[in-house]
Structure 1
Amino acid sequence: MRVVFAGTPAVAVPSLQTLVARHEVVGVVTRLDAPIGRKRVLTPSPVAVAAAEAGIPVIKANRLDDDVTAQIAALDAELGVIVAYGGLVREPLLSTPRLGWINLHFSLLPRWRGAAPVQWTVISGDAESGATVFQLRPGLDDGPIWSLASTPVGPHETSGNLLSRLSTSGAEQLVDTVDGIASGRLSAHEQEGTVTLAPKLTIDDARLDFTAGLDEVYARLRGVTPEPGAFTEIDGVRVKVLDASPARDRPRLDPGVVVAEGRHVYVGTAGSPLELLTVHPAGKKPMAAADWWRGSGAERMVAR
């Protein structure tokens, strides 16, 4: 099948590479080069790099306007495939390929429609996640489903870990779906169940609230790792929490109270404490929590 692919970040690369191996990818649409790093060097997206390596023509655009629509129409693709492109597909582009567009979405739709489905899956403590391939239409992730695959969420899995895993398994699911559409053996069905929304995370979503229970605090920490990154303020200093672990066998501490026992640093929640393992205090480099504590010279601190 002649396919046009739209995607931008690294999680979309496995899908592109798997499609290239089994179908004719006639063009790739990705977002414009973006400034990266402290020096803000303009850098092509991971999908742009992968497409160039495969010798596929690349259209770079942040908006899918009339000009981009004309460029895509000229490719004469039968099907559009989108994975984390980062922009909206509207008419007339939505109907430009003969079979329209399908989207690989990293949740079990209709749960977690929106920009950050994996993060909200973890934050909410869902036991199960997965990926859905659905037919794109104007509504937010509301199109009929071609395929759905589920997977357990590991008890210590971060959203970054889960998204990486889903990007690999989802690539095979996506291309199997394209195969099924091409052969006519698959049919799509409307979504069923309760709709929940997964809006883009803000920095406020990454703040840890230690008045909540341990499971809730730990789920939020994992859900916002690696981005935007969990943080708290300890004695007035902003501290990112890069890694931590539940300490269910330790005596309870008042919520937010931070103490050390030997090489272990604990912070109280409404339940059992959370052990801080790696932290990144403002103005310093990431470090082991025990080293940070020793350097502070404190006997007791408070996280808010």
Structure 2
Amino acid sequence: MKITVKLTNKESIIKFEADQFLVPNGNFEFNNIDEAKPSPLAQELFYLPFVKKVYIASNFIAIERYDIVEWKDVQNEVAEQIEAFINSGKTIITAENIVTKTAVTVYAESTPNPSVLKFAANKKIVIQSIEFNSIDDTKFAPLALALFQFPFVKSVFFDDNFVSITKYDIAEWDDITLELREFIKHFLETGKTVVEDAVYQNEVNTQIKIDKEDAINSALDTTSKRIISILEEYIKPAVASDGGNIEFQSYNPITKRVSVILQGACSGCPSSTFTLKNGIETMLKEMLNDDVLTVEALNG
């Protein structure tokens, strides 16, 4: 078998094309040596200090490099190494050990809170909203646990098809957005569990959560039920688009005070909290025809 070097439109990536088929079915991507366990060839390539990513297709191997070298200085040696490996008869892929990937798109969106960025996927990732403010809460949430390994991650919020991440001020979004997006994309593509059922069934998340169905079936007064209905229909969709969430906590019929919990991008930013509080208060006053009503917005 002969290997030919082929340039690509990205300087950091080069293709090593074979004159016959390498693997019978599928395309395989490996981001580090641990992921490459099903491929002895990919593992061998990761021992080269400049190899960042290995992609094996039916008739070629693509390698993405780190910037410590230029391809022109090493490409011929790599081609010879690949050619020697294949011609020795060694196994390229042990297909039964491959984790099947599902195509996932993840894109980053800004939010009204400058400390929070929303990462939206083209698939549903959780069945209900849930927030993690500490790594101690993530026992049954593998993705949240993984994200807290980044030193700049302060809190993580999941809802429907997105993740909202709150960062510490030590990092700038321009420096970490791509890294986080690629990390989340890879996590979802490999089919790993985002949140285990135990989080929902055992209420591991200690935040007060009263969804619409629970409220309707509970002994809440009529006004409380009406407030929940307004929040669900008019407020939640708007704040979700900005990477946040709002939950009803309580209504005091004597003081006419409504307490709500803000999560994700809605939480922690004084200006956005003030704006959202006033917007909710104005809407509830109008829809409930009660000018005395006030809203208390609590950070989750």
Output the TM-score relative to the length of structure 2. 0.30
Name whichever structure is richer in helix by fraction.
2
Output the TM-score relative to the length of structure 1. 0.30
